[in-house]
Amino acid sequence: MIIPLQYNLRYLRTRWTGTLITAVTFGLVVAVFVIVMALAQGLDRAFVTTGDPLNLLIMRPGVQSEMQSSVSIDRYQIIRTLKGIATGADGEPIVAPEVLVVVNKPKLPDGGKSNLQVRGIDLKTLELRPQVRIVEGRMYEPGLREVIASRLVSKRFQGFRLGDTPIFGGGTWTVVGLFDGAGTAYDSEVWCDYEELQQEFDRRGGYSTVVARATDPAAAAALARTIDEDPRLKLEVKTEVQYYSEQTETSRPLKLFGTFLATVMAIGACFAGMNTMYGNVASRAKEIGTLRVLGYTPFSIVLCFVFESVLLALIGGIFGCLVSLPMNWVTTGTTNFQTFSEVVFQFAVTPRLMTIALGFAVVMGVVGGLLPAVSAARRPIIDCLSKV
């Protein structure tokens, strides 16, 4: 039933200019799709991989981001006494206060200013966020004006290399370590001792948020309920996963844009593909007639040409994926409009995205090839044979 693959392949090779042009057209559509979606995915990944389902983020009710939250010290003390919180190596409950401020710093290379998020942490925070690792230098010393910066931040902002002495608030700080946040939102941050940060920014009255680690998922749910209901606290609890997935709103316009782009470009490319395939069909009319005389059914002719078109689109799709692959190593940034600070992230051309893109190419191939293929199969054999 099925006309062999070599037949299509050799044709595509014989008419290589047409094949190349059409494949490149399909490829460019796929590349644009992949690149824009990789941007959106990189951004999502920065947020989604950040959260840990056992970490509870405790904030002031109604706020959209950690930045706008505040939690007083006495409430932090109450939280520490609650049940269901995991115990750290030192025997203390793993509850860490965090202080968040935003500083405006010049970026590399042009010196345009962007907001940078500085997170004041407790050393316990490291138990809460094991994905963050020091890759160069050392951890800050509590009680000193020392910071550790993410490697991406140190590449993207001026004055955050190891040993640099950035100024923020009133004082001068020293970068003593660089960390790798493993693609999380922390890759856009600078960390330091929370008490130092409180002093520097005159925030002695309280913390921004308090993060607590539950012993297990059931305890996490119970703990969340306890905090929600405790009349002394009047605080809101979210798991980190929940919180960060809410932040992925940021990539919504980008995804919308990518989908719109890809759709409109794909429509254009499908028309072009149809043109090529109609041309292929027309120039092979006599062969189609001959194949039919040899006993091939109309359906196998449809299959043959749709297949050829899909093959063409797949060649394009693979080309498009390869072209966009190097973007994987490109770092870029945008603003999280919920915190008004810069999110640094890498394009994420993931295997899943490439699979989707190739699927997309197949769809373009089918759409572009179906009508020409059907028209080829429906032509009476006699007509095919008489057309030279």
Reduced to 3 states, what is the DSSP secondary structure of residue 221?
Answer: helix
Q: Give 166 or 289: the residue with its C-beta nearer to another protein.
A: 289
* Residues whose CB is less than 8 angstroms from the CB of residue 166 and which lie 6 or more positions away in sequence, other chains included: 105, 147, 159, 160, 172, 173, 175
Query: Whole-number minimum distance, CB 42 to another protein, in Å?
Result: 11
- Of 239-258, binders to another protein (CB under 8 A) are 252-253, 256
- Of 323-382, binders to another protein (CB under 8 A) are 332-335, 337, 339-341, 380-382
Q: Side chain identity at 117, as an amino acid letter?
A: Q
- Of 155-214, binders to another protein (CB under 8 A) are none
Query: Whole-number minimum distance, CB 123 to another protein, in Å?
Result: 27
Alpha helices (H) in 284-327, listed in sequence order: 285-293, 298-324
Q: Give 88 or 169: the residue with its C-beta nearer to another protein.
A: 169
Instruction: Report the C-alpha gap between 182 and 382 in whole angstroms.
Output: 66
Give me the 22-51 binding string for another protein, x by CB under 8 A, dash otherwise: x-xx--xx-xx---x--x------------
Q: Give 7 or 162: the residue with its C-beta nearer to another protein.
A: 7
Q: Does 2 bind another protein (CB under 8 A)?
A: yes
Q: How far is CA 1 from CA 9, 298, 314, 374, in A?
A: 18, 10, 23, 16
List 271, 328, 355, 387, residue binding another protein (CB under 8 A): 271
Q: Give 215 or 332: the residue with its C-beta nearer to another protein.
A: 332
User: Hey, what are 63's tokens?
Assistant: 């706020």
User: Hey, what are 220's tokens?
Assistant: 């996490």
Q: Give 179 or 347: the residue with its C-beta nearer to another protein.
A: 347
Query: Whole-number minimum distance, CB 156 to another protein, in Å?
Result: 12
Query: Whole-number minimum distance, CB 243 to another protein, in Å?
Result: 14
Task: Provide the sign of the torsion angle of the four alpha carbons 116, 121, 123, 125, taken in this order.
Answer: negative
Q: Which stretch binds another protein (CB under 8 A): 131-139, 182-190, 208-216, 271-279?
A: 271-279
Instruction: Report the largest interatomic distance among the alpha carbons of the chain, rounded to a whole angstrom.
Output: 93
List 164, 180, 228, 287, residue binding another protein (CB under 8 A): 287
List 215, 290, 331, 350, residue binding another protein (CB under 8 A): 290
* Residues whose CB is less than 8 angstroms from the CB of residue 294 and which lie 6 or more positions away in sequence, other chains included: none
Query: Whole-number minimum distance, CB 25 to another protein, in Å?
Result: 5
Q: How far is CA 75 from CA 22, 80, 148, 349, in A?
A: 65, 9, 28, 43
* Contact (CB, 8 A) for 310 and 366: yes
Cα angle 252-255-259, degrees, rounded to a multiple of 5 = 140
List 55, 57, 60, 132, residue binding another protein (CB under 8 A): 60
Q: How many residues bind another protein (CB under 8 A)?
A: 75
- Of 92-121, binders to another protein (CB under 8 A) are 102-104, 112, 114-115
